[in-house]
Amino acid sequence: MDRDIDTGSAHSARIYDYIIGGKDHYPADREAGDAMCREWPALPVHMRANRDFMNRAVRHLAAQAGIRQFLDVGTGIPTSPNIHEIAQSVSPASRVVYVDNDPLVLALSRGLLNGTPEGRTAYLEADLREPASILGAPELRATLDLTQPVALTVIAIVHFMMDEDDAVGVVRRLLDPLPSGSYLAMSIGTAEFAPDEVGRVAREYAARGMPMRLRTHAEAEEFFTGLRLVEPGITQVHKWHPDDTATEPIRDEDIAMYGAVARKP
C-alpha cells in the first residue's frame, strides 16, 4: 500500500521538479521554489545544469565506458530523458534500478518502468541512508548482476545528508560490493562559487525542514578516495564534458554543484 503523500509541505524533489519546469508539484513546492528563486535568480540555471550533467555522465558511461547496468539512488521525480532512456538508446540491453523513498516518486515511477524489451528497469523504495536494504533488495538482485560492472549514480542528494548521516560512508558502502570496473557518478552541492546567494537558498530549505550540508572541493574529493577519476576530475557540473546543447554561456557563479565520474579499480 502506498504511503500518503504530504502535499501540504514542500519537498525537495518537487521543488526541483517545479524549478526545472516539471508538472508534478503542489502549492507548497511552488511557494518554496519562488522564494528560493527570489534569493538566487540563477537557481533554475543551476538545477538544469545539474540535470544536464547527469545526462552527459550516463551517456559517457554507456557509450564510452561500456557500462550496461545502472543503480540510481535518490532518483527524484521522473524527467525525460531518464537514465534508462539514455542508457538503452546506446545499448537496448541496459538495465537500470531506480531508488527513492518518496511516495510521490514511487507513484510517478510506475510509468517510467517501460524500457526496451531487451533491457530491464525496476524501482525500489528505499532510503540512501540504509545501503544494506538497497543492495539486498529482491528487486535489485533480479535486475542487476553484481558480478558485472555497475554505475552507481548519486545525483544532487548528498547535500541533504548531515554530518551525522555519514554521506561518504554511505556511498562507500553502496560502492564496496560492486565489482572492479564499476563507476561512481555524483553531483555534490557547494557554496564555494556564490556563498551569499547559495547560503540564502539553504536557509529557505532549512526553514522548511530540509537542512543542507554544502561541501568544499576538498570535501567532495573524499567521496572518490581510491577511485580513478575520469578527466577533468571534480569540477563544476557545467564544465564536465560540456556539449553543444547549451543555448547560452553559463557563468561559474551560477553553478553550485560539483560533478565527477570515477572508476573503481
Q: Is the pTM of this model over 0.75?
A: yes
Helix then strand count (H, E) for the chain reads 10, 8
DSSP lists the bridge partners of residue 98 as: 72, 123
Checking if the pLDDT of 112 tops 70, the result is no
Of 255 and 120, the one with more pLDDT: 255
Distance CA 208, CA 203 (A): 9
Half-sphere exposure of 111 (CA within 13 A, CB side): 8
pLDDT of residue 113: 65
With CA atoms as reference, report the closest residue to 197 among 18, 55, 45, 11.
45
Residue 54, classed as helix, strand or coil, is helix
The three three-digit cell numbers of residue 60, written as one number: 559517457
Checking if the pLDDT of 105 tops 50, the result is yes
Residue 79, classed as helix, strand or coil, is coil
With CA atoms as reference, report the closest residue to 50 among 157, 208, 152, 203.
157
pLDDT single digits (tens) 228-258: 999 999 999 999 999 877 667 899 999 999 9
Q: Where are the domains of the chain?
A: 12-243+252-263
pLDDT of residue 111: 64
Average pLDDT over residues 71-81: 90
Average pLDDT over residues 76-80: 85
Average pLDDT over residues 79-102: 93
Residue 29, classed as helix, strand or coil, is helix
Checking if the pLDDT of 60 tops 60, the result is yes
Length of the chain: 265
Q: What is the CATH number of domain 12-243+252-263?
A: 3.40.50.150
pLDDT of residue 1: 35
Checking if the pLDDT of 106 tops 90, the result is no
pLDDT single digits (tens) 189-228: 999 999 999 999 999 999 999 999 999 999 999 999 999 9
